[in-house]
Amino acid sequence: MWTHRSWPGRFLPHPLPAHERLRAYAGWCTAVEGNTTFYATPARETVASWAGQTDPDFRFVLKLPKAVTHERRLTGADAELRAFLHAIEPLGPRAHALWIQLPGSFGPADVPALARFLRELPATHRYAVEVRHPVFFDDAGAARTLEAALGTVGAEWIPFDTTAFFRTPPTSDAEREAWTRKPRMALRTRALTDRPIVRYLGRDDPARTVEGWQPWLDVVTGWLREGRSPTVFVHSPDNADAPELARGFHDQVRARLPELAPLPEPAPIGPSTLF
């Protein structure tokens, strides 16, 4: 997302027209998860406006439509896939990776279908797959089979780290809701490509979110030292502090690796003068 009901007046200017909100968000963070594309393929004109609000090096990680991944389970969805790829063309290099999030029922027996699907995708994009079946995280053989399928096309495996979130019981309404919906999987920190992508879910308490991401500081710093270019998304159940938390994570990595470029300075939220 690049807007949230609690962000205007705090992270984003208020009021702010819808066609300028992404530009304001891009002053805080240099990447965004395209989760809305899971529910509906946007109009090409809408995507062109996204490109117009961001620099060429801004990163969109766009989720494939659920019609492709969940309803058709990667089979017989050529029309939906073509429509999606046509719609996102205006992003150009901003389309950092196309995100193939698979349902929790998509298990090791389905890997051949995934391998076929990946081989038929156009090589003009990079791809990243998020699986939620626990066997991929608990069984080394299943993990190797999935890694082999991804490796044939240079696709990445996106870990969704919920380990810090599920460490202790929920304490807020947002946490209680997330407790019933978010997947519980073992921690995975292995990168397959030079562009690893991490999704991390903390708690509504910012201090606990920061505490939970500490293991990722060594991992991400190590990737950068190896010449990789990771993208890290920081979530909390209510996402109220997400932009600030993401910048905090970047600052902590940069403290270990000073040569890492700083994030942009956000535009002032309020007027610089009273007159």
Q: What is the pLDDT of residues 214-260, one digit of tens each?
A: 999 999 999 999 999 999 999 999 999 999 999 999 999 999 999 99
**CB 213 within 8 Å of CB 164:** yes
Of 25, 90, 20, residue with least CA distance to 62: 90
Burial of 22 (0-12, 13-18, 19+ CB in 10 A): buried
**Neighbouring-strand partners of residue 31:** 59
CA distance 83 to 42: 9
Given the structure tokens 């698979």, which residue do they identify?
102
Q: What is the pLDDT of residues 136-159, one digit of tens each?
A: 999 999 999 999 999 999 999 999
Average pLDDT, the chain: 96
Residue 116: count of CB within 10 angstroms of its CB: 12
Residue 171: count of CB within 10 angstroms of its CB: 13
Q: What is the pLDDT of residues 93-102, one digit of tens each?
A: 999 999 999 9
Q: What is the pLDDT of residues 194-210, one digit of tens each?
A: 999 999 999 999 999 99
Residue 84 reports pLDDT greater than 70 = yes
The reported pTM is: 0.95
**What is the separation of C-alpha 253 from the centre of its chain, rounded to a whole number of angstroms?**
18
Residue 272 reports pLDDT greater than 50 = no
Given the structure tokens 């905090």, which residue do they identify?
248
Confidence (pLDDT) at 275: 44
